[in-house]
């Protein structure tokens, strides 16, 4: 398998723990909920993107890049973790960020500054990848003229090298379920650019996971999201030389928790964040994990997930954004 040979920089603290959330399970009336703590990957207050960025920065180093350029919204966890990882391996980092409502020097934007990233704020919606791509190209052209060798990382690190990170992370997770002696029925995860879900679907198929992966759309409508994830999953399996065929029915994404759109806190996500904080002492975020947890809570309440079943919730991080959303989260 080519997976073991794929170049990777060791930056994240792995394996992350898989923990039983007993008080949350009890509060919701039954199903056993385990939380996979990818919010504890180490740098920049943790998060899923470090697992992805390890492979992308290895590519950057391999082509002799002197600097990485990536993009997102002002509260992008991906951008922030890229900035931290770039600092760690000695690469310059330029972030092209779509200015939105949460653009005070708080949360991820504050951390970007501490990590020494060169932040370029542009007037564009964070949900407009084409405009962000164009802006990254312009910035890179400018850098080339200054003698730099830029490496562009797409929105959310969503490429087959990035998704490969979550194929490997699946192996780590499946081994942990075996060690704990559990057979989870479902794995819940927030879906933004789709690289995490694509990697998880390929990993679940390649390593015969007991669980079904359930994505919760937080960035774009589910049909659009499904098409993107399907293409990326197939591409990733091919890159890794895995004997895995991903079919459209392998991809399950719920769209009804997106609310008014990317980055808008919903009442359900707010409730989910507060419930998890008050039962487990854990911090979820308003943009990604809060909405994914809102979906899990709703599916338990309506009985789609029974009291005898077992669920893993992938905590993908996002903690810094809580500080940028303080007025909306508190009483």
Ligand X SMILES: Cc1ncc(COP(=O)(O)O)c(C=O)c1O
* Binder of ligand X out of 129, 203, 222, 318 (CB under 6 A): 318
User: What is the rounded CA–CA span in Å between residue 237 and residue 235?
Assistant: 6
What minimum distance in Å lies between the beta carbon of 181 and ligand X? 28
140 is catalytic: no
What minimum distance in Å lies between the beta carbon of 66 and ligand X? 25
What minimum distance in Å lies between the beta carbon of 89 and ligand X? 20
Bridge partners, residue 97, by sequence: 72, 121
* Binder of ligand X out of 51, 75, 77, 82 (CB under 6 A): 77
**Does 106 engage in binding with ligand X (CB under 6 A)?**
no
What minimum distance in Å lies between the beta carbon of 293 and ligand X? 11
Identify which of residues 143 and 211 has a Cβ nearer to ligand X in the complex.
Answer: 211
What minimum distance in Å lies between the beta carbon of 194 and ligand X? 5
**Does 193 engage in binding with ligand X (CB under 6 A)?**
yes
**Does 285 engage in binding with ligand X (CB under 6 A)?**
yes
* Binder of ligand X out of 317, 322, 324, 325 (CB under 6 A): 317
Yes or no: say if 312 and 209 are a contact pair by the CB < 8 Å rule.
no
* Listed ranges 56-64, 91-99, 144-152, 312-320: which one lies at the site for ligand X (CB under 6 A): 312-320
**Does 78 engage in binding with ligand X (CB under 6 A)?**
yes
92: tokens are: 């310059």
* Binder of ligand X out of 164, 187, 190, 295 (CB under 6 A): 190
**Does 288 engage in binding with ligand X (CB under 6 A)?**
yes
> Among residues 25, 76, 140, 170, which one is catalytic?
76
Contacts with ligand X in 228-247 (CB under 6 A)?
Answer: none
* Binder of ligand X out of 316, 322, 324, 329 (CB under 6 A): 316
**Does 75 engage in binding with ligand X (CB under 6 A)?**
no
Secondary structure in 3-state letters for the chain: CHHHHCCCCCCCCCCCCEEECHHHHHHCCCCEEEEEEHHHCCHHHCECHHHHHHHHHHHHHHCCCCEEEEEEECCCHHHHHHHHHHHHHCCEEEEEEECCCCCCCCHHHHHHHHCCCEEEEECCCCCCHHHHHHHHHHHHHHHHHCCCCEEECCHHHCCHHHHHHHHHHHHHHHHHHHHHCCCCCEEEEEECCCHHHHHHHHHHHHCCCCCEEEEEECCCCHHHHHHHHHHHHHHHHHHCCCCCCCCHHHCCEECCCCCCCCCCCCHHHHHHHHHHHHHHCCCCCCCCHHHHHHHHHHHHHCCCCCCCCEEEEEECECCCHHHHCHHHHCC
Identify which of residues 47 and 184 has a Cβ nearer to ligand X in the complex.
Answer: 47
Identify which of residues 8 and 78 has a Cβ nearer to ligand X in the complex.
Answer: 78
**Does 214 engage in binding with ligand X (CB under 6 A)?**
no
- The sign of the dihedral angle between the CA atoms of 285, 194, 315, 240 is negative
* Binder of ligand X out of 11, 18, 21, 191 (CB under 6 A): 191
Q: How open is the CA angle 53-85-205, to the nearest 5 degrees?
A: 20
* Listed ranges 47-55, 110-118, 249-257, 298-306: which one lies at the site for ligand X (CB under 6 A): 47-55
Yes or no: say if 44 and 95 are a contact pair by the CB < 8 Å rule.
no
**Does 225 engage in binding with ligand X (CB under 6 A)?**
no
What minimum distance in Å lies between the beta carbon of 253 and ligand X? 10
Residues of the shown chain interacting with ligand X in the complex, contacts defined by CB under 6 A: 47-49, 77-78, 156, 190-197, 285, 288-289, 316-318
Task: Please identify every residue annotated as catalytic.
Answer: 76
């Amino acid at each position: 398998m080519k997976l073991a040979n794929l170049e990777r920089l060791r930056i994240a603290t792995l394996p992350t723990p898989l923990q039983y959330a007993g008080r949350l399970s009890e509060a919701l009336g039954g199903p056993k909920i385990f939380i996979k703590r990818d919010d504890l990957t180490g740098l920049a207050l943790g998060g899923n993107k470090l697992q992805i960025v390890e492979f992308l920065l290895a590519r950057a180093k391999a082509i002799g890049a002197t600097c990485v350029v990536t993009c997102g919204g002002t509260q992008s966890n991906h951008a922030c973790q890229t900035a931290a990882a770039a600092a760690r391996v000695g690469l310059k980092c330029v972030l092209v960020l779509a200015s939105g409502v949460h653009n005070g020097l708080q949360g991820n934007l504050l951390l970007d500054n501490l990590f020494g990233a060169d932040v370029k704020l542009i007037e564009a919606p964070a949900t407009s990848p084409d405009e962000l791509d164009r802006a990254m190209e312009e910035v890179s052209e400018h850098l080339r003229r200054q003698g730099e060798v830029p490496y562009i990382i797409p929105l959310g690190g969503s490429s087959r090298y990035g998704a490969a990170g979550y194929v490997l992370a699946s192996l780590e997770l499946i081994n942990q379920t075996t060690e704990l002696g559990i057979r989870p029925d479902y794995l819940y995860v927030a879906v933004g650019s789709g690289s995490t879900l694509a990697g998880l679907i390929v990993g679940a198929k390649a390593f015969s996971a007991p669980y079904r992966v359930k994505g919760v759309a937080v960035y774009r409508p589910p049909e659009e999201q499904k098409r993107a994830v399907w293409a990326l999953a197939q591409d990733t399996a091919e890159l890794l030389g895995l004997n895995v065929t991903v079919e459209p029915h392998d991809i399950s994404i719920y769209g009804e928790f997106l609310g008014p759109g990317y980055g808008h806190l919903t009442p359900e996500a707010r409730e989910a964040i507060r419930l998890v904080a008050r039962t487990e002492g854990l911090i979820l975020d308003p943009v990604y994990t809060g909405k994914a947890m809102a979906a899990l809570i709703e599916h338990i309440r309506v009985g789609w997930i029974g009291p005898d079943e077992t669920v893993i919730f992938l905590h993908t991080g996002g903690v810094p954004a809580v500080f940028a959303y303080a007025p909306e989260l508190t009483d």
